[in-house]
């Protein structure tokens, strides 16, 4: 019992390679098309899930300046404003714009997704004694 190896001509190898590439591209294209044509809306996110996600992002990116409890920095130039009870700055629009574009002292966090920004906004709007409800990725997207 021996194994027989066939020698394929260079032309045949080229044809085989083209065929394999064509099948691969067809499979990739049909996968992309199936994903793009999905009519199912994204699954709704619970307030608890969004708040927990926002808390995690807040702890890693915001506490250094805004404080663990949203107390901010007590400086006259308002470098990191208090978020606890700061009603003027707690609209979804103002939070989204500030996070995306940054400000005089705040760097932009435009690498965050709309959902991540909505999660942070939800956390800030519903923590530190605030009760302003949740934010959605769609609301954030309007401010990009």
Say how far apart CA 87 and CA 92 lie, in whole Å: 11
As a whole-number percent, the residues of the chain with pLDDT over 90 amount to 49
Say how far apart CA 10 and CA 44 lie, in whole Å: 55
pLDDT of residue 62: 94
What is the domain partition of the chain in residue ranges?
Answer: 47-141
Kindly report the three-state secondary structure assignment for every residue of 84-108: CCCHHHCCHHHHHHHHHHCCCCCCC
Residues in the chain: 144
> pTM (2 decimals)?
0.68
Average pLDDT value for the chain: 80
When pLDDT is cut at 50, 70 and 90, the band that residue 32 belongs to is low
Q: What does the block give as tokens for 71?
A: 């107390």
Q: How far is CA 37 from the centre of its chain?
A: 22
**CATH fold of the domain at 47-141:** Cytochrome Bc1 Complex; Chain D, domain 2 (1.10.760)
* Strand ranges, E, within 19-136: none
pLDDT of residue 80 exceeding 90, the answer is no
pLDDT of residue 58: 97
């Amino acid at each position: 019992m021996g194994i027989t190896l066939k020698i394929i001509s260079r032309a045949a190898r080229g044809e085989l390679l083209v065929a394999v590439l064509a099948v691969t591209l067809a499979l990739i294209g049909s996968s992309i098309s199936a994903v793009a044509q999905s009519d199912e809306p994204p699954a709704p996110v619970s307030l608890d899930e969004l708040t927990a996600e926002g808390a995690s992002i807040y702890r890693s990116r915001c506490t250094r300046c805004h404080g663990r409890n949203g107390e901010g920095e007590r400086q006259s130039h308002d470098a990191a404003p208090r978020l606890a009870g700061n009603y003027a700055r707690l609209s979804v629009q103002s939070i989204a714009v500030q996070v995306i574009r940054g400000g005089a002292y705040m760097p932009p966090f435009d690498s965050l997704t709309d959902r991540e920004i909505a999660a942070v906004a939800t956390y800030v709007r519903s923590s530190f004694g605030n009760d302003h409800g949740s934010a959605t990725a769609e609301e954030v997207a309007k401010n990009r």
